[in-house]
Structure 1
Amino acid sequence: MKLNPYVVLLTLALAGCTTERSPSNVTAPGAPASTKTKVLETGASMIQSRPPVEAISAWLDGFHFYNGDQNGQMEAHHYVTILNEDVMQAVIYDGNTNDAKLMGVEYIISERLFNTLPPEEKKLWHSHQHEVKSGTLVAPGLPQAAEHELMEKVVNTYGKTWHTWHTDRDKTLPLGIPALMMGFTADGQLDPKLLAERDRELGTDTKAIRASRSDIVARPVASGANAWQQGEVIQLQRVKGGGEHAHGKTGFTDAEQTSHQH
């Protein structure tokens, strides 16, 4: 029986997350939370509603690298909200524990929407075909049948990812400016030690997962995605002025969209 994608996500909520822990490797400086702060936190959590947070319905674990620096790799825990059949959004953390550090965000769109984007915009997006088919993108704790259905939904989507805390190198505070991230597109790109550590911590078996997804249909990557493979390195740099979104201004300038190695 074929599962509805929304039933898949509901199943995750009902089944609960995996008990395996993938803790943050970053320690932020600061005094421990005081009793007053803890009381305020507990009170707020009991009284205030959090609709955007409560709408998060799936946890995906995968890997990113800096656009322009394939050696700058890190694990990324995505907590995903489905906005509609063509658009999802995710908040990204460096772990799955309550002290995990918020690393960034990813916007995920269907192939149909990706194909409507202008050429310069497409350069910011990466494909998910290899991540799904290789088994490196997983939904820990989700029953296999439900995870398989979810990955069928994700496999032909495209993501635009910005990291604001570079936890692979900034071990105390989020320093610097946001970085555009990419996803892996072929075997041999991802550091095997990083993958082995993920499998050990979360109790996943990437090889077995890969084999179980052999029937998932991945369409050819749409033209314009993964522009880094054609040498298009896009990263932000500090500039004077209001930037791309200044009033009355459209498009990118050479100073705002620039090749900048991390």
Structure 2
Amino acid sequence: MKSKRATFALSRPVLLLTVGGLLTACAANNTDSNVVAPGAEKTPSTKTLEAGAALMQSRPPIEALNAYLDGFHFYNGHPDVQMEAHHYCSILNEEVIQCVIYDGNRKDAKLMGVEYIISEQLFAKLPKAEKALWHSHVHEVKSGQLIAPGIPEVAEHALMEKLVHTYGKTWHTWHTDLNKDLPLGVPQLMMGFTADGQVDQKLVSEREQRFGINSAEKSKSRADIPAPAIDPGADAWRKGDVIQIEDPTGTPHSHSQSVP
């Protein structure tokens, strides 16, 4: 069922499948973190405090993270520096989603950053300078790069019908893809891919093996999802308008290639 105004709303059966199953799906727990944080092992007293807090403290914002998405990012201005990104998201309303991003989906995964996702209606109202910070999701959806592991195909398809109409703003704060064992340097603005041939196929193949999926098949199954026109203010890097924070610490980010 489609409407002229695309939002995040799903039919009730699909919504229940999506919200109830995304985080508890068996597809999780198959991707290791890229780094091991320095430090001593947890002491028995720390483990006891941790267990007690888990039993006694409420965590409403964390419990609201009920959607799991997996995709790929690259550093704005440096499309050769790419990584897989595991998104754990909270659907705030029909126009806004907020996600925390990890470098894996196991218990020791490192928090890499955040992504804010908004509807095309909200994006259209943003000033030009702000739009340059955001990326479109059309290619990620249509190519099969963006997935919602572990839920039924019908639920994933319905979710992608909504996400194809959205834009994301992503900042990474811990650059674990570069094998840094601590969150060094400053946050970096990330972007999403917009055309075939941009993503490193090795990253895609490794993910396909872990999740037991085929991105090409997913792309075929999403052929019926209409590709909306992309706001010209998004994906500004394609026009040479690259925004990135200069790192005053001198921390190298392995950014060796400029935008083509």
TM-score, normalised to structure 1, is: 0.88
Q: Deviations over 1:90-132 (max 9, x none)?
A: 0000000000000000000000000000000000000000000
The one-letter code matched in structure 1 to 2:92 is L
Q: Is the 8 A contact 1:11 1:146 kept in 2?
A: no
The one-letter code matched in structure 1 to 2:73 is H
The residue that corresponds to 2:57 in the other structure is 48
- 2:188 and 2:23 map into 1 onto residues whose CA distance is 35
- 1:196 and 1:121 map into 2 onto residues whose CA distance is 34
TM-superposed CA distance for 1:203, in Å, is 1.5
Q: Is the 8 A contact 2:208 2:214 kept in 1?
A: yes
TM-superposed CA distance for 1:64, in Å, is 0.2
* SS of 1:62 mapped into structure 2: strand
- 2:221 and 2:77 map into 1 onto residues whose CA distance is 32
- 2:159 and 2:28 map into 1 onto residues whose CA distance is 20
Counterpart selection for 1:132 from 119, 141, 150: 141
Q: Is the 8 A contact 1:102 1:165 kept in 2?
A: yes
- 2:22 and 2:125 map into 1 onto residues whose CA distance is 33
The residue that corresponds to 1:113 in the other structure is 122
* SS of 1:180 mapped into structure 2: strand
Counterpart selection for 1:88 from 97, 108, 120: 97
Matched, 1:155 2:153: no
The residue that corresponds to 1:185 in the other structure is 194
Matched, 1:23 2:43: no
Size of the aligned set, in residue pairs, is 242
Moved over 2 A (4+): 1-11, 13-17
The one-letter code matched in structure 2 to 1:216 is I
Matched, 1:210 2:199: no
Give the CA RMSD over aligned residues.
1.9
The one-letter code matched in structure 2 to 1:83 is L
TM-superposed CA distance for 1:20, in Å, is 5.3
Counterpart selection for 1:32 from 37, 41, 45: 41
Q: Is the 8 A contact 2:20 2:66 kept in 1?
A: no
Counterpart selection for 2:82 from 48, 73, 89: 73
* SS of 2:176 mapped into structure 1: coil
Cα distance change of structure 1 residues 8 and 118 upon mapping to structure 2, 3 Å threshold: farther
- 2:201 and 2:190 map into 1 onto residues whose CA distance is 19
TM-superposed CA distance for 1:202, in Å, is 1.6
TM-superposed CA distance for 1:19, in Å, is 5.1
Q: Is the 8 A contact 1:8 1:150 kept in 2?
A: no
TM-superposed CA distance for 1:167, in Å, is 1.0
The residue that corresponds to 1:224 in the other structure is 233
Cα distance change of structure 1 residues 40 and 20 upon mapping to structure 2, 3 Å threshold: closer
TM-superposed CA distance for 1:57, in Å, is 0.9
- 1:129 and 1:14 map into 2 onto residues whose CA distance is 23
Give 5+ residue unaligned stretches, structure 1.
Answer: 240-260
Q: Is the 8 A contact 1:9 1:58 kept in 2?
A: yes
- 2:46 and 2:152 map into 1 onto residues whose CA distance is 38
- 1:15 and 1:171 map into 2 onto residues whose CA distance is 29
TM-superposed CA distance for 1:6, in Å, is 2.9
The one-letter code matched in structure 2 to 1:108 is I
